[in-house]
Structure formats: structure tokens, C-alpha cells
Amino acid sequence: MQALGLVWGDHHAVNANLREVRAPIGEPTQYGAKLLLEQWRARTDTSLGFVVGRDVPSRALAPILRSLAIYEPLEGMKDFRIRLAGTAFVRRFGRDVTGARLSDLYAPEAWETQCRALASVVESGSPNVGDVKITRDNRVYIRFESLSLPVLSPDSKDIWVMSGIFYFDWA
């Protein structure tokens, strides 16, 4: 139930019967994803890396901040906590997911797939780009391009993941 903008009740109902279908792609096609990758490459090629708190938020990324989330690995990358999530993630999950664990947001099989994908970004040090379709009853509900990048934690000691979701129907 929703009243005055507050959600009371089972917040998982928004995600009921949803299936996430991801197809890897070589390079981003969406403006926001291209901008994010360009800024990330500029920082990782010429400095000590892309650092949360130093390089994001930034003026250069201001147009896409709503599309970004920062994931902190937990328990040896068996789960991830969303440290910060822009409003684009409200559309995807039906609520603000800042502070949530991936295990709180996904069914077990999908959760393991998501954790493996984020862990591979940390381990490889390489970007992961995908075309993602959220389907329900064989109908595409949402479609977006995702870009996940390894970044340094604010203290530069750990590798976290910064992801962006860029909807095809948003300018």
C-alpha cells in the first residue's frame, strides 16, 4: 500500500515475477554509459585510480549521478552492500535501495548471478557492459544498458564496484 509517497507493506511485490535477462556487449551505446566509461578511463590511465569521494561525485559526472550506484563487497564477495544508489535504481527496484544488500533484493538464483558479475569486475579490474531487459510474463518491462567498473573505496584500500544503469527510454 502507498500513502503520501510512503510505501507500507511488502516492497518485494514490485519485483514479483520479474526476470532479468542480460546480454554482454563490447562497448556502451548510451550517452551516460559512454560518459561514465570515458571519465573512468581518464582517471585510471593518468592517476592513482578512480576513487569514491574524490572522483565521484564530480561536476563531470553530474548529468548521470541519478544513474549511479556504489557497491561494497561483503564477506569475501559473497554479497554486496549498495552504499549509494541514484534515483534510476528506484525505477528498477521500486524503492530506494541505498544500504540494502543484493541478497535483500534478488531471489537466490538471481542474487548469485549478480554477485558473480560484480565479483568478476573486482577480480578482473575490467569494465562489464550489458544490455539488460527486465521481463514479466514474456513482456519487456524495463530495458537499460548497464556498466560496472572497479573503483577504489574512499580510503583507497579496497576495490568496490560503481555501476550505472542507463534506460533506453530516458534522454
Question: 73 in a domain, yes or no?
Answer: yes
Question: 1 in a domain, yes or no?
Answer: no
Question: 4 in a domain, yes or no?
Answer: no
Question: 109 in a domain, yes or no?
Answer: yes
DSSP 8-state class, residue 28: -
Rounded distance, CA 160 to CA 122, Å? 7
CB 167 within 8 A of CB 142: yes
Question: 15 in a domain, yes or no?
Answer: yes
Query: Three-state SS for 134?
Result: strand
What is the CATH number for 136?
Answer: 3.30.450.20
Q: How many domains does the chain have?
A: 1
Range of the domain at 45: 10-167
**Number of continuous H segments (helices) and E segments (strands) in the chain:** 4, 8
Question: 157 in a domain, yes or no?
Answer: yes
Question: How confident is the model at residue 5, as a pLDDT?
Answer: 58
pTM, 2 dp: 0.86
Alpha helices in the chain (DSSP H): 31-46, 88-93, 102-105, 108-124
Question: How confident is the model at residue 16, as a pLDDT?
Answer: 60
Question: 3 in a domain, yes or no?
Answer: no
| Below-70 pLDDT ranges, the chain | 1-16, 171
